[in-house]
Amino acid sequence: MAGLVRLFFHDCFIRGCDASVLLDLADPSSATEKFGLPNLSLRGFEVIDAAKARIEKECGNVVSCADVLAFAGRDATYFLSNKKVYFEMPAGRYDGRVSLINETLIHLPPPFATVEQLKANFASKGLSADEMVTLSGAHTIGVSHCSSFDDDFSDRLNASTSDMDPKLMASLEKQCRSDTGNDNTVVQDIKTPNKLDNKYYKNVLSHEVLFASDAALLTADDTSAAVRAYAEDNNVWEEKFKAAMVRMGAIEVKTSADGEIRRSCRILNTY
């Protein structure tokens, strides 16, 4: 379910919440967002397919893939929070007709981003610095590939340059630098990896986070204050998270004038 929350985020940050991330490769010359480097590890496409197929069977062509994806992100949040975090997600989105592989790196915040880069990235989508910190709390669920934090850009496992907790670093070195040579995956939150809660912010404060972008939240006064506030009060964070998810779900929403309601989430309508 964590993959559905991430899928929703990655969709909304490229061309808005228009299900463009769901489109498959049409031909070798027109690769879509799905095949961009940051999106290669996305999961949950089959869940959206199944939900869309059921809706098409029961209702006909009236619910967009963009809405299905937004509802899936909402429902995943609900179940991952032990049914505590529920909110009404507005509907009415249309599906986009454009999806370009070369827009993924431009629009998605990288795991090695500085706090100023993160602020600018979220601001470009109409989201505040506080909403950026709030939505970063989603890193309390799911897994990450080691290459996302153990590379030439972040080098989070270098004791001479990283502020990561030594015990966590040692554990990650064993998991990530095995003899297999595979790009292993590790949980993002070592405390409550399958629960959507405020443990992420406590992990930021104790330097037990994977990404340089997570650690960067402590480098500015406003974001650091937000981290501390959310670490102290889970209820406050939950309420902020609900509102931020709805705000994110409104990014660059398409209408009938510039979108469609796809019959299949993976391909454009042909009529």
Q: Which residues are catalytic?
A: 10
**Residue 254's beta-bridge partner residues?**
94
Q: Which amino acid is at 110?
A: P
265: tokens are 């989430």
Report the distance separating Cα 228 and Cα 224, nearest Å: 6
Cβ contact 101:31 at 8 Å: yes
Any binding-site annotation on 189?
Answer: yes
Displacement of CA 11 from its chain's centroid (Å)? 9
Helices 45-59 and 65-80: angle between axes, nearest 10 degrees:
120
CA separation, residue 35 to residues 48, 79, 86, 99, 240 (Å)? 17, 29, 31, 10, 32
Any binding-site annotation on 140?
Answer: yes
Any binding-site annotation on 20?
Answer: yes
Q: Which amino acid is at 77?
A: T
Any binding-site annotation on 223?
Answer: no
Residue 220 CA neighbour count, 13 Å, CB half: 17
Any binding-site annotation on 95?
Answer: no
Any binding-site annotation on 192?
Answer: yes
Any binding-site annotation on 197?
Answer: yes
92: tokens are 């009415």
Q: Which helix (H) or strand (E) holds 67?
A: helix 65-80
Which residues are part of a known binding site?
11, 16, 18, 20, 33, 109, 139-140, 189, 192, 197
Which residues are part of a known binding site for substrate?
109
Which residues are part of a known binding site for Ca(2+)?
11, 16, 18, 20, 33, 140, 189, 192, 197
